[in-house]
Amino acid sequence: MDPASNTPIIILKSIDEEHAIPIWIGLLEATSIASALKNVSYDRPMTHDLFKNFLDTLQIEVSKVEICDIRDNTYFAEIFFQTREDAFSMDARPSDAIAIALRFGAPLYVDDKVIQKSKSEDGEAEVFDESEEGKKWAEYLEKLPPDDFGKV
């Protein structure tokens, strides 16, 4: 959670932990991602589960998701689909793309240009909250290992 705005943040880290990008997302999308990470199911399908059920019915697979661009501090994603006869892709919000990728077990990629654009000039994370608590949060998030993500 962003301590300044109380908004959920998803932090994507590279496998080698050399790069990380934070993406601010909505509460509903964060709930959907968390429920997929924890294998929580509901009596009735939530939106991303409904979409997966629809694609399953049409025998369409999600082959991968890519965070493909960042413009004006807004991230863009693309979902890649595969049918028996064809492949296609669609533009999506990163939070929705991640929630869908998790449901399909599809790999998630971040384009190199996104990593480059998301870096600040000095290579350090930009801290908006300059209070002691804000600095502690920034330090905590920087050192947080990927294995701890999704744990409560």
Q: Tell me: the pLDDT tens digits for 15-56?
A: 887 888 899 999 999 999 999 999 898 899 999 999 999 999
22 neighbors 138 (Cβ within 8 angstroms): no
Domain ranges of the chain: 9-148
* Strand blocks (E) in 15-96: 20-24, 61-71, 74-82, 87-92
- Please state the pTM of the whole predicted model: 0.75
Greater confidence (131 vs 32) lies with 32
Closest to 11 (Cα-Cα) out of 81, 104, 92, 108: 108
Number of residues in the chain = 152
Q: Which fold has domain 9-148?
A: Bifunctional nuclease domain (3.10.690)
Q: At 151, is the pLDDT very low, low, confident or very high (cuts 50, 70, 90)?
A: very low
Q: What's the rounded mean pLDDT across residues 107-136?
A: 69
Strand partners, 108: 65
- State the number of CA atoms in the 13 A half-sphere of 105 facing the CB: 1
SS3 58: coil
Task: Output the pLDDT for position 121.
Answer: 31
Question: Rg of the chain over CA atoms, in angstroms?
Answer: 17
pLDDT, tens only, 53-91 = 999 999 999 999 999 999 988 999 999 999 999 999 999
